[in-house]
Structures are given as structure tokens and as C-alpha cells.
Structure 1
Amino acid sequence: MEHKMDIPGLQSFLIEAFPQVAGEIAVTELAADQLTVRLKVQDKHLRPGGTVSGPTMFMLADVAVYLAILSRIGPVALAVTTNCSIDFMRKPVADADLICTARLLKCGRVLAVGDVLIHSAGQAAPVARASLTYSIPPK
């Protein structure tokens, strides 16, 4: 499948449309049906107990699937999450970045579905897994 946006295009889109996360998330890999992003974990992402918060991991999963979809359909800012199921499986390492790999299972005209695995950098076992569905607005 051909990409309508490459890594620099996706990063530029984040800066323009979502500056609140643009400096924290970097697209590191873009393949046929997969996209990998890295979150630079900071103190603001931590919760009591010295771990990365659930809302931070949700945001990372959501942004990763969103960018994977945009890589395929182009800069459609109004594509929106309609469903998310996330499993928090292990405590992330507080002083390690999070690596999130999103895989598109379907990217149709009106719906897109993706799966996500999140790892702490340097750790083999995933810390979270998510499944997301997006609604794509009509052209």
C-alpha cells in the first residue's frame, strides 16, 4: 500500500495540528502497514509509584494509530477515535522512553482499525496492548 504521508510529513502535521504532543512524540519507522513512534518520557508522564501513567499510554496508542492512518489517507485532521480497548500488562520503566508500534488491520473509506503494542525502551515484554477504531470523515 502506498503512503500519502512520509515521516517528515507526519511530524510536520503533528507540529501544526497537535503542538501539545509534537515535541514529545517522534515517528521512528514507517512500513507498509505499521508505524512506530517513541515517547520521550518526562516527569509529567509519571504517576505515583514511579511509573508512566495510563492516560499517557492511551495518548501514545491513540496518536500512533492516528498517524498510521494519516500515512495512508493523507492529512485528514478530523479522523476521530470511535473505540479503544487497552490492556495495561506491566509497569513501564519510569526512566525509559516508550516505544509504540501500531499496525493497521483495516483502512477503509469510513473506518480504520489498528492494533498497538507499547514497550519500555530496552525491554522485550510489552507494557500495554490496545485496539483502536477510527471514523474517517467523508471527502
Structure 2
Amino acid sequence: MRWSGDEILEFLRADFPQAFRDGWDYEITDLAADRVTVRLSSHESQLRPGGTISGPTMMHLADFAVYVLLLALHGQSASLSVTTNLTISFLRKPEAGDLIAEVELLKHGRTLSVAAVHLRDERGRVVAHAEATYHMAGAD
């Protein structure tokens, strides 16, 4: 692993400040070579009518969390890696509150990396399942 959770968040705040817009705040709670857990403290801007966390917010967190894992593995050289595919199944309405992404790296290659993501609400219920594929542009 090239970067710690703190180093990743420092890099993202400096180079991708738009990810922290409108009160968006993340915490990396678990980080290993093949997995990461990222918590998003939800904000009213991420809620849809009815008080549940929006689908775009869930997709954002799934994509963001996979990117975090790739940055941990490769550091700065993974910064140009891009999402080539992201699919998501929404399973139940997440209540307003923190949203947790648990990422498992399924394949990590020189060109492509594939990860599975379970999104959980604060009660621990799986509210969505996603799979993301990244093109490893520039990663060494």
C-alpha cells in the first residue's frame, strides 16, 4: 500500500475539492490491500423527497470508494485512473444518516481493476450493491 487513509483524503481535498462540496464529508474506516470501507456523513443536499438518501449519492459513494482503494494501492500514479463501468442495484431505501461503502477488490490488473461494493445504511442494512471497473491509466 502506498498511501494511508489520511494521505488519500489529503490528496483528494487538494486535487479534487469538488468531491467535498456542499458539506460532503468522508471517513476511511478500514483499509487493506483488497478492501476499503468509506463512510459518507450524509447532508440534506443528498436527500430526496421522503427523506431517503438519493440514488446519485449512492452511485457517487460507490465510485468514490473504489477510487480510494486504487489510490491506496498506487498513490499519485492512480490519480488518472477512470471509471469505465459502474452498475448498481438499489435494494431498499436508505434512511437519512451515514452511508457506508464496503469495497472488495475482485480483480486488480495492469489495465483494468474490478471491485464489488456493498452500500449499507447506519443500521447495517445493505441498501445497494454496485460493481465498478476502472481503467488503470498511469498506475504503476
TM-score by length of 1: 0.91
Give % identity. Answer: 44
Q: Secondary structure at 1:127's aligned position in 2? A: strand
Take 1:43 and 1:128, find their aligned partners in 2: how far apart are those partners?
A: 20
Q: Is the 8 A contact 2:33 2:73 kept in 1?
A: no
The 10-residue stretch of structure 1 (70-79 or 47-56) with the greater mean CA deviation from structure 2 = 70-79
Residue 125 of structure 1: CA displacement?
Answer: 2.1
Segments ≥4 residues shifted beyond 6 Å: none
Take 1:108 and 1:4, find their aligned partners in 2: how far apart are those partners?
A: 17
Deviations 1:53-103 (A, max 9, x none): 000000000000011111112222210000011001011011x20011111
Q: Is the 8 A contact 2:121 2:127 kept in 1?
A: yes
Residue 20 of structure 1: CA displacement?
Answer: 2.1
One-letter identity of the residue aligned with 2:89: D
Look up the match of 1:81.
Answer: 83
Q: Secondary structure at 1:14's aligned position in 2? A: helix
Look up the match of 1:91.
Answer: 93
One-letter identity of the residue aligned with 1:87: S
Higher helix share: 2
One-letter identity of the residue aligned with 1:79: S
Q: Is the 8 A contact 2:102 2:119 kept in 1?
A: yes
Take 1:88 and 1:26, find their aligned partners in 2: how far apart are those partners?
A: 23
Q: Is the 8 A contact 2:81 2:138 kept in 1?
A: no
Take 1:28 and 1:124, find their aligned partners in 2: how far apart are those partners?
A: 15
Take 2:57 and 2:11, find their aligned partners in 1: how far apart are those partners?
A: 20
C-alpha RMSD of the superposition: 1.3
Structure 2 gap segments, 5+ residues each: none
Take 1:18 and 1:57, find their aligned partners in 2: how far apart are those partners?
A: 19
TM-score by length of 2: 0.91
Look up the match of 2:121.
Answer: 120
4, 12, 27: which one aligns with 1:6: 4
Aligned residues: 135
Residue 108 of structure 1: CA displacement?
Answer: 1.2
What are the within-5 Å matches in structure 2 for residues 57-72 of structure 1?
A: 57-72=58-73
Q: Secondary structure at 1:74's aligned position in 2? A: helix
